């Protein structure tokens, strides 16, 4: 068949059904939260037996239900169930695995002592395959071997998933050896808290081997997930680019006297904080995380890279941004002062490094000879180093969200040191042009989303992507 005659792939009419099984408290619900990017699914906690009923959730691709996962209760008494199976199946001749399970499901104790196990095995028979989730920190015990033996009775492909493999107490080698002795050589390592970037690909590759007739489905699923990942990152980086254009263009006018100057300083600081907050919230929503996942983004604490205030030289240095000696005072305030008086020229027309709080001592350094001549208003704008910090923090947040599983319970943490965006002495031309166009700031009453602004936004987006 020629390439142009190839039949386009069609998503299946009915989703593939996969049971997620295993011992209690191994992270079965956590795995499904991460695979479906749904932090609201099921109940996650440290208490054993959190999931008591079978719960289903569909993985949608282009509005098609591709896979339906079923979260099952934990198997609590595998050894007792194994003994019971031997008892009720004795004397009934040769029985294969599914017949053994049916025999158990028709027995009295399936609704009593082994009611929870019955829910698991009943769902297992209904599905095409199963994921057996293992807490890789647990030692290999006889109960695990009995569980696997019982689950094998279902007659469906069983893929072990080693969870929590990033924990320092993991026993991955021990588990690999034990599974191979049970003739389970295909497995996958998938930490639901911090999944590897190719973790989903590995999982669906293994399922494609075990369910070879469904391999085209898994191949298309992987390709679609990769497209989604690239699309999310593109949207995220564009949010950051827009934040930087917005913040660079931001201006606040003020008379050159206290308390107006001090009030204007706090105003531009707060406007910048609010704009960053808006960007952070948009990023969390884009990656389908909750506001509670990142409680430090209120910018009201000290001593942490994110929660430390933007307008603090120590924060800049912690992020690897070197504040020059002449700009140190300005970094303390986080803004520069543009002199608007007609006919007055101070080099480029901008006095860099004027700080408020200690601002008046800074101004005095330039001498009273010109201070008395200054009349009219000033315009405050965000300092260059603060813009560098904004770029570094938001790009670090994107990286953290890309690597975070939706089952993680700890707050998001970022590593600004890994980010080198705009570390050079001069900012990109797009930001420099935004400096000269206050109407490009959404905070401006004269906001103009012009073609030129969009073009510069596109240029900055490309830079950040690279």
Kindly report, residue by residue over 320-348, the tens digit of the pLDDT: 555 444 343 343 444 444 433 322 222 22
> Where does the pLDDT of residue 364 fall: very low under 50, low under 70, confident under 90, or very high at 90 and above?
very low
Specify if 191 maps to a domain.
yes
**What gap in Å lies between CA 168 and CA 280, rounded to an integer?**
31
What's the mean pLDDT in 119-128?
94
- Does 76 have pLDDT greater than 80? yes
Cβ–Cβ under 8 Å, residues 245 and 457: yes
Pair type for strands 252-254 and 129-135: unpaired
Residue with tokens 């028709």: 106
Instruction: Select the more confidently predicted residue: 2 or 134.
Output: 134
Residue with tokens 């011992």: 23
**Tens digits of per-residue pLDDT, 215-271?**
999 999 999 999 999 999 999 999 999 999 999 999 888 887 778 888 888 888 889
Give the number of domains in the chain.
2
What residues make up the domain containing 138? 12-210
- Tell me: do 203 and 258 sit in the same domain: no
Tokens read off for 190: 């998938």
Residue-level pLDDT at 82: 92
Residue-level pLDDT at 98: 92
What is the overall mean pLDDT for the chain?
79
End-to-end alpha carbon distance in the chain: 40
Length of the chain: 466
Q: Which residues contact 213 (CB under 8 A, 6 or more apart)?
A: none
**What gap in Å lies between CA 413 and CA 320, rounded to an integer?**
17
- Tell me: do 175 and 83 sit in the same domain: yes
Residue-level pLDDT at 57: 92
Tokens read off for 191: 């930490």
What's the mean pLDDT in 360-385?
53
> Where does the pLDDT of residue 416 fall: very low under 50, low under 70, confident under 90, or very high at 90 and above?
confident
pTM: 0.78
Specify if 5 maps to a domain.
no
Specify if 2 maps to a domain.
no
What's the mean pLDDT in 431-448?
91
- Tell me: do 306 and 369 sit in the same domain: yes
- Tell me: do 172 and 41 sit in the same domain: yes
Q: Which residues contact 12 (CB under 8 A, 6 or more apart)?
A: 64, 66, 217
Helix, coil or strand: residue 19: strand
**Tens digits of per-residue pLDDT, 274-317?**
899 899 999 999 999 988 888 754 443 222 333 345 555 545 55
Helix, coil or strand: residue 340: coil
- Tell me: do 191 and 272 sit in the same domain: no
What's the mean pLDDT in 115-119?
92
DSSP alpha helix (H) spans, 78-167: 78-89, 97-105, 115-126, 142-152
- Tell me: do 360 and 423 sit in the same domain: yes
- Tell me: do 315 and 455 sit in the same domain: yes
- Tell me: do 167 and 312 sit in the same domain: no
What's the mean pLDDT in 50-68?
83
Specify if 350 maps to a domain.
yes
- Tell me: do 206 and 245 sit in the same domain: no
Nearest partner of 74 among 114, 126, 33, 38, judged by Cα: 114
- Does 412 have pLDDT greater than 50? yes
Specify if 223 maps to a domain.
no
User: Residue 198 belongs to a domain with what CATH number?
Assistant: 3.40.50.300
- Tell me: do 157 and 43 sit in the same domain: yes
Helix, coil or strand: residue 179: helix
Specify if 228 maps to a domain.
no
Q: For the ranges 1-10, 201-210, 222-231, 448-457, which has the lowest average pLDDT?
A: 1-10
- Tell me: do 200 and 327 sit in the same domain: no
- Tell me: do 203 and 260 sit in the same domain: no
Helix, coil or strand: residue 351: strand
Cβ–Cβ under 8 Å, residues 329 and 354: yes
Cβ–Cβ under 8 Å, residues 160 and 132: yes
Residue 61 β-bridge partners: 64
**What gap in Å lies between CA 466 and CA 448, rounded to an integer?**
27
- Does 374 have pLDDT greater than 60? no
> Where does the pLDDT of residue 385 fall: very low under 50, low under 70, confident under 90, or very high at 90 and above?
confident
What proportion of the chain, given as a percentage, has pLDDT over 90? 46
- Does 458 have pLDDT greater than 70? yes
């Amino acid at each position: 068949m020629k390439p142009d005659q190839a039949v386009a792939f069609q998503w299946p009419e009915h989703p593939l059904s996969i049971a997620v099984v295993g011992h209690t408290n191994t992270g079965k619900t956590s795995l499904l939260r991460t695979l479906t990017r749904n932090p609201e699914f099921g109940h996650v906690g440290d208490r054993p037996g959190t999931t008591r009923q079978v719960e289903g959730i569909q993985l949608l691709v282009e509005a098609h239900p591709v896979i339906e996962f079923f979260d099952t209760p934990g198997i609590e008494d595998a050894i007792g169930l194994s003994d019971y199976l031997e008892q009720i199946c004795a004397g009934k001749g040769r029985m294969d695995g599914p017949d053994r399970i049916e025999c158990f499901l028709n027995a009295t104790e399936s609704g009593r002592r082994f009611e929870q196990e019955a829910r698991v095995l009943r769902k297992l028979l209904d599905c095409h395959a199963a994921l057996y989730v293992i807490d890789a920190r647990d030692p290999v015990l006889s109960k695990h071997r009995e569980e696997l033996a019982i689950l094998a009775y279902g007659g469906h492909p069983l893929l072990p998933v080693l969870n929590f493999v990033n924990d320092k107490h993991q026993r991955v080698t021990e588990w690999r050896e034990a599974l191979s002795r049970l003739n389970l050589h295909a497995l996958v390592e998938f930490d639901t808290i911090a999944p590897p970037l190719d973790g989903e690909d590995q999982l669906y590759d293994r399922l494609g081997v075990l369910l070879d007739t469904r391999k085209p489905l898994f191949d298309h699923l992987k390709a679609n997930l990769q497209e989604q990942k690239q699309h999310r990152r593109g949207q995220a980086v564009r949010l950051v680019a827009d934040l930087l254009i917005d913040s660079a263009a931001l201006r606040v006018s003020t008379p050159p006297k206290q308390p107006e100057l001090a009030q204007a300083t706090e105003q531009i600081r707060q406007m910048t904080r609010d704009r960053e907050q808006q960007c952070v919230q948009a990023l969390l929503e884009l990656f389908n995380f909750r506001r509670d996942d990142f409680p430090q983004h209120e910018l009201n604490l000290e001593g942490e890279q994110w929660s430390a205030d933007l307008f603090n030289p120590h924060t800049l240095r912690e992020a690897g941004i070197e504040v020059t000696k002449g700009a140190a005072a300005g970094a303390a305030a986080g803004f520069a002062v543009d002199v608007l008086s007609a006919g007055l020229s101070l080099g480029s027309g901008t006095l860099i490094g004027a700080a408020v709080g200690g601002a008046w001592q800074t101004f005095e350094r330039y001498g009273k000879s010109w201070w008395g001549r200054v009349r009219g208003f000033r315009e405050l704008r965000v300092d260059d180093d603060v813009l560098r910090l904004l770029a570094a923090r938001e790009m670090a947040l994107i990286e953290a969200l890309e690597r975070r599983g939706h089952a993680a319970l700890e707050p998001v943490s970022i590593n600004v040191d890994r980010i080198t965006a705009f570390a050079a002495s001069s900012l990109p031309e797009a930001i420099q042009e935004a400096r000269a166009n206050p109407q490009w700031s959404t905070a401006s009453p004269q906001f103009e989303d012009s073609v030129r602004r969009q073009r510069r936004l596109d240029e900055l987006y490309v830079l950040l992507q690279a």
